[in-house]
Structure 1
Amino acid sequence: MGEDEVDRLAAGWATSGMSPAAIARLELSKRVSRLALRHEQAMKPALAELGLTYAEFDVLAALLRAGGPLRPSELTRALFLTSGGTSNVLQRLTAAGYVEREPNAEDARGRWVRLTPDGEAITTKAMAVSARVHEDLLVGIPDTTIRAAADSLREITSVTDRRH
């Protein structure tokens, strides 16, 4: 593999006297951010063709994975959204007919959110779009490299997630 932009940044960090361990940490976070940005840039237009934003897709996918209703607070936690952000997304998805909110019998103030049949259908289409975007984004990278990176990132996120 050739040099990338992060390698050029790392050379500057090394020249400034930064330790190799600190440089490696910065390289990791920069590359993860770049990959996430590339993924989001590829997903946005693909989802827009379905009339969805990235946040809406995230909520729909979480509901599909859950296999049943969730509380808005569960979506907020699972997707790292603010409660206001979750509320706004749920309002748009409800207006589109993709989710419905129903009372929570155990908590009069709470509500359940579930996919409608139309929501399940659009989510299935969006999941296929997501799979295609991932495939296109990572084309040419050996499966073993992807598997090793995914495993390494799991190890890292399992530690960082426990801190929050």
Structure 2
Amino acid sequence: MVDQWVARRPDLDPRPMALFGRLTRADTLANGAIAATLRAHGLNRGEFDVLATLYRGGEEMSAGALAGALLLSPAATTNRLDRLQAAGLLSRLPDPEDGRGVRVRLTDAGRDLLKRSVEDHVRGLESLLALLSPDEREQLSALLARLLHSMAALQD
């Protein structure tokens, strides 16, 4: 692709297109692998994110705090919570500090499922990175962090 662009438009440097093409392809492949791992546990990525956020946050939090941590609208959060509650993976309780609020709590089944799925998830991510040395992983992570920072600055 780079050679073809250079031949047709020698005045343009096509390397940024190649780089972002690789990022897009890596994202597509990673998302497919992650989805397959989570699907084996009966979860989609959004549901996994809810369970993982609750687990990391101490297994219980307000619905509002959960929505904020997930960067979701209240409606989208409610949709995910409804599915997970119907599956017996979490429960919702009145918030004793806010009469209008709701606390969301992992059930034993939700905690057990999260523990199993996160172990497989991490193993899957490790396999995607298997060809990179620890130093290369750190370098890639640092470079992507810088790229994301500079891209976010362009949005401001």
TM-score normalised to the size of structure 1?
A: 0.76
Supply the distance in 2 between the matched residues of 1:50 and 1:111 (Cα, whole angstroms): 27
Is 2:121 the partner of 1:134? no
Question: 2: CA distance between counterparts of 1:16 and 1:87?
Answer: 52
* Structure 1 residue 68, shift from structure 2 partner: 3.6
Which segments of 5 or more consecutive residues in structure 2 lack a partner in the other structure? none
Aligned length: 154
Equivalent residue, structure 1, for 2:33: 42
Summarize the Cα distance change of 1:137–1:10 in structure 2 as closer, same or farther, 3 Å threshold: farther
TM-score (norm 2): 0.80
Partner residue of 1:12 out of 5, 15, 38: 5
2:3 & 2:91 partners in 1: Cα distance?
49
How far does the alpha carbon of each residue in 1:22-62 deviate from its partner, in whole angstroms, 9 at most, with x for none?
x64x5555444332321210122221121111111111111
Which of residues 81, 100, 111 is equivalent to 1:90?
81
Counterpart CA distance in 2 for 1:145 and 1:90 is 38
Ranges in structure 1 where 5+ consecutive residues have no aligned partner: 1-7
Change (3 A) 1:158 1:132: same
Larger Rg: 2
Indicate how the Cα distance of structure 1 residues 87 and 159 shifts in structure 2: closer, same or farther if over 3 A, else same: farther
Q: Using a 3 Å threshold, how does the CA distance of structure 1 residues 68 and 134 change in structure 2: closer, same or farther?
A: same
Query: Sequence identity, in percent?
Result: 29
- Shifted more, 37-46 versus 73-82: the winner is 73-82
Structure 1 equivalent of residue 52 of structure 2: 61
Q: CA RMSD in A?
A: 2.8
Q: Helix, strand or coil for the counterpart of 1:139?
A: coil
Runs of 4+ in 1 over 6 A off after TM superposition: none
How far the C-alpha of 1:82 sits from its partner, in A, is 3.4
